[in-house]
Structure 1
């Protein structure tokens, strides 16, 4: 029986690199939504340049990604409203309907690739820390 070793760091890096193009496209869409004069627009441009340069994220790009996500998620939350709709035929008495403003809807379509990229980068960091810890224990 043959077993195949799958390197967790390599797997995490492959996932990160696979998601980078989708995140770059999402940043292009966000750039149009945010505008150049906005702080978000400037952050988006810096992060987009870092991703287009290839390779891994440096500390500055990692911070930019976090700040972009925080800003976009706050704008989505600001444009989101929930309303209770009563329904006499429902056991719970009704349910909630979520309404997104036009801006919140546009931002929400662009945020998922960036969230996935951030999660993939966190997986890379975890795999690197694991390898360091293993090397320390084995020495």
Structure 2
């Protein structure tokens, strides 16, 4: 079953969001600009762009035919990579890992928020005699 134009366009937009998430989480960047998207003869979908309004800071992000979504296949300028990496030893997190980390942080924040609501004993003092 192939994708029609609208579902393909929607798929492409979702992948751009995943690429932005990957770069924002793993690198210190201010902006990300996409310039073009191509599908090569082997079926790999390649997104081209650059960072921080400098076309020299270019990147490619790829989705291989066997992948459903973008996870972290990238090629970027080595100097930019070294100077802007957020984690030691060039460690990067895949999009699935980032989403898992963010879900865990949201759950922890929800637990913290709800426990502080119940533990506010000073707020209850006005209702007791």
Q: TM-score, normalised by structure 1?
A: 0.28
Q: Which protein, 1 or 2, shows the higher relative CO under an 8 Å CA cutoff with sep ≥ 6?
A: 1
Q: TM-score, normalised by structure 2?
A: 0.30
Larger fraction in helix: 1
Larger fraction in strand: 2
